[in-house]
A and B are shown apart, each in its own frame.
Chain A
Amino acid sequence: MMEKLIFGRYIPGTSWIHRLDPRAKLLSTILFIFVIFLANNWQTYLLLFIFVLTAVLLSEIKFSFFINGIKPMIWLILFTVILQVLFTGGGEVYFQWGILMLTSQGLLNGVFIFCRFVLIIFMSTLLTLTTMPLSLTDALEYLMRPLIALKVPVYEIALMLSIALRFVPTLMDETEKIMNAQRARGVDFGEGNVFQQMKAIVPLLIPLFVSSFNRAEELATAMEARGYSGGEGRTKFRKLDWSASDTLVMVVFVLITAALVFLRN
């Protein structure tokens, strides 16, 4: 069931996008989400589509992966689009029934919202497909550094993030194993009414929590035994490396933002 989920996975590769600095990728994805709200006509959306599709092409990853990334979200997208279409007034009115109406402005808005969703999902899928989770946490740690001045425990947050990411697959395996063991003892997962289903989760949840506690204890002991005593004063094994192509990405971003501001109504 979980194995069909492509969203959030990493696919190893050596494309130009793969080799970019994770800081550049993370930063541009975040900026992109802001910049996309500047777009409000077809020229601006066209520009953003060209930008995203170029990035997708450069990543050398099959297009079907990106489509798969949209699939789990499709109902949410359609729901929002339909609401937008039905409740937006303005422009030529094609059809009206109470407060529900179909207008040219509404349709246009619906299309734009749809594009916005698709673009954001494409961009974030691109980020996770081409960046190792650990590099992402490194990038996040670096970008959060200014917050140290505000007494935010940035090292600890980064450590927790990287441990959490590291244990996601391990926990998934563990879940699968315990699930199989309980199914072998006669538990039916995902069958019956809501209460029966919730009851069936207990034999899965408790062992998972217990093993997480044990794992945490073992990990903490092992970390202490290896001399870990907090984030302060540590050196780094994985060094981030900002290259010319990363600067290029940021320059392109500035240009696109300028173009959007210029092109929007």
Chain B
Amino acid sequence: MDITFEKVGYTYQKGTPFESRALYDIDFDIKDGSYTALVGHTGSGKSTILRHLNALNKPTEGKVIIGDREIVSTTNNKNLKSIRKKVGIVFQFPESQLFEETIAKDIAFGPKNFGATEEEGVEIAKRMLPLVGLDETYMERSPFDLSGGQMRRVAIAGVLAMEPEVLVLDEPTAGLDPKGRKEMMDMFYQLYKEHGMTIVLVTHQMEDVASYANHVIILEQGTVVKEGPPREIFQNEPWLESKQLDVPATVSFASRLEERIGLRLGDIPLTTDELADQLVAHLASSSIEGGDAK
């Protein structure tokens, strides 16, 4: 399902003395089956955009086209459920949305709101738990007995349980340890690869952007300042710095190498694997040339 923003503007508390503008003239496409990363400095409007993706906010100007539905400022608040089912959002610190007595019930809460029966809900919960790395023994436990990381998994399972076509993630790994972080990001990537899910990721982790996304949208002060594939985006380190953003560690390592010892590796390396391959290739070629691989 495609999501298109056409000249979208959004003003908070419009018509009151506390009015503040958050978005200006936003134009972009999130193509079906893409992995889009939304990056930008704090307060650039990422979270506001995110709430437009499933019509939690309606644009005050322009329109958002979600699948075959068009959302404008005058769109009625009724009948938006079908959109919410198709676009699942995992908000920041989603563990704060848990409320049911048991984990199974909490996971089934979303599907039941969209019309699933009690049995179907349990069935779905059973399927979702392994997906987020928990097993069936957790079904009847209270979500409030879990550790922070496990609670987050349950909350994410609750969103996945609605079987959305588009999964929106707002800093899903914030506050997790490195292992949990990696597991979670790999899980999302698997959903993207194997289940053909469209993913929108809001993050400050440039490494995640480089290793997973295939489309990057950069925001600054409520407008899109650049978009394109990650390799193109990370090409220009000084420009990113001027937007108070970073390049992935591998990219800055490669550019440092070039700066210090004049070693040029070719394409900018987005992941450690790519960097390692390039270095190996370079060492191999230089050992053929000079015999000294130091």
Residues in A lying within 8 Å of B, measured CB to CB: 3-4, 6, 62, 64-65, 174, 177-178, 180-188, 191, 202-203, 206-207, 210-211
23 contacts across the A-B interface (CB closer than 8 A)? A3-B18, A64-B17, A177-B96, A178-B97, A180-B51, A181-B94, A182-B97, A183-B56, A184-B56, A184-B84, A184-B89, A185-B84, A185-B110, A185-B162, A186-B81, A186-B85, A186-B113, A186-B114, A187-B113, A203-B109, A207-B96, A207-B98, A207-B99
> Contacts A3-B16, A184-B91 given: A174-B96 contact, CB under 8 Å?
yes
- Interface size range of chain B in the complex: 20 to 34
User: What residue of chain A has the Cβ atom nearest to residue B93's Cβ?
Assistant: A177
Q: Is the CB of A184 within 8 A of B88?
A: yes
Q: Is the CB of B113 within 8 A of A181?
A: no
Q: Is the CB of B158 within 8 A of A65?
A: no
Q: Is the CB of B91 within 8 A of A65?
A: no
Residue in A188, A207, A210 whose CB lies within 8 Å of B81 = A188
0/1 per residue, B99-128, Cβ < 8 Å to A?
100000000011001100000000000000
The DSSP consensus for interface residues of chain B is mixed
Q: Is the CB of A62 within 8 A of B56?
A: no
Give the chain B neighbours of A65 by CB distance below 8 A. 17
Cα(A215)–Cα(B30), bound, Å: 37
Q: Is the CB of A186 within 8 A of B99?
A: no
User: What residue of chain A has the Cβ atom nearest to residue B14's Cβ?
Assistant: A3
Least CB distance from A124 to B in Å reads: 18
Least CB distance from B36 to A in Å reads: 18
Give the chain B neighbours of A180 by CB distance below 8 A. 51, 56, 91
Give the chain A neighbours of B84 by CB distance below 8 A. 183-186
Cα(A210)–Cα(B145), bound, Å: 12
Residue in A6, A62, A185, A191 whose CB lies within 8 Å of B109 = A185
Say yes or no: is B242 at the interface (Cβ < 8 Å to chain A): no
User: What residue of chain A has the Cβ atom nearest to residue B92's Cβ?
Assistant: A177
Give the chain B neighbours of A186 by CB distance below 8 A. 81, 84-85, 110, 113-114, 162
Say yes or no: is B13 at the interface (Cβ < 8 Å to chain A): yes
Best-buried of B18, B110, B113, B158 by chain A (most CB within 10 Å): B113
Least CB distance from A202 to B in Å reads: 7
Give the chain B neighbours of A4 by CB distance below 8 A. 13, 16
Say yes or no: is B54 at the interface (Cβ < 8 Å to chain A): yes
Least CB distance from B192 to A in Å reads: 19
Give the chain A neighbours of B16 by CB distance below 8 A. 3-4, 6
User: What residue of chain B has the Cβ atom nearest to residue A180's Cβ?
Assistant: B56
Give the chain A neighbours of B54 by CB distance below 8 A. 184
Q: Is the CB of B96 within 8 A of A178?
A: yes
Residue in B12, B17, B92, B158 whose CB lies within 8 Å of A185 = B158
Q: Which 9 A-B pairs have the closest CB atoms?
A: A186-B113, A206-B99, A181-B97, A185-B110, A184-B89, A181-B91, A3-B13, A203-B99, A186-B114
Q: Is the CB of A185 within 8 A of B96?
A: no
Give the chain A neighbours of B96 by CB distance below 8 A. 174, 177-178, 181, 207, 210-211
0/1 per residue, B153-169, Cβ < 8 Å to A?
00000110010000000
Give the chain B neighbours of A210 by CB distance below 8 A. 96, 99, 144
0/1 per residue, B8-52, Cβ < 8 Å to A?
000011001110000000000000000000000000000000010
User: What residue of chain B has the Cβ atom nearest to residue A188's Cβ?
Assistant: B81
Other contacts beyond A3-B12, A6-B16: 8, CB < 8 A: A4-B13, A6-B17, A180-B91, A181-B94, A184-B89, A185-B84, A185-B97, A185-B162
Give the chain B neighbours of A184 by CB distance below 8 A. 54, 56, 84, 88-89, 91, 159
User: What residue of chain A has the Cβ atom nearest to residue B85's Cβ?
Assistant: A186
Give the chain B neighbours of A188 by CB distance below 8 A. 81
User: What residue of chain A has the Cβ atom nearest to residue B87's Cβ?
Assistant: A184
User: What residue of chain B has the Cβ atom nearest to residue A65's Cβ?
Assistant: B17
User: What residue of chain A has the Cβ atom nearest to residue B158's Cβ?
Assistant: A185
Give the chain A neighbours of B97 by CB distance below 8 A. 178, 181-182, 185, 203, 207
Cα(A185)–Cα(B98), bound, Å: 11
Give the chain A neighbours of B144 by CB distance below 8 A. 210
User: What residue of chain B has the Cβ atom nearest to residue A214's Cβ?
Assistant: B96
Q: Is the CB of B99 within 8 A of A185?
A: no
Q: List B residues 229-261 near A (Cβ within 8 Å).
A: none
Best-buried of B13, B18, B114 by chain A (most CB within 10 Å): B18
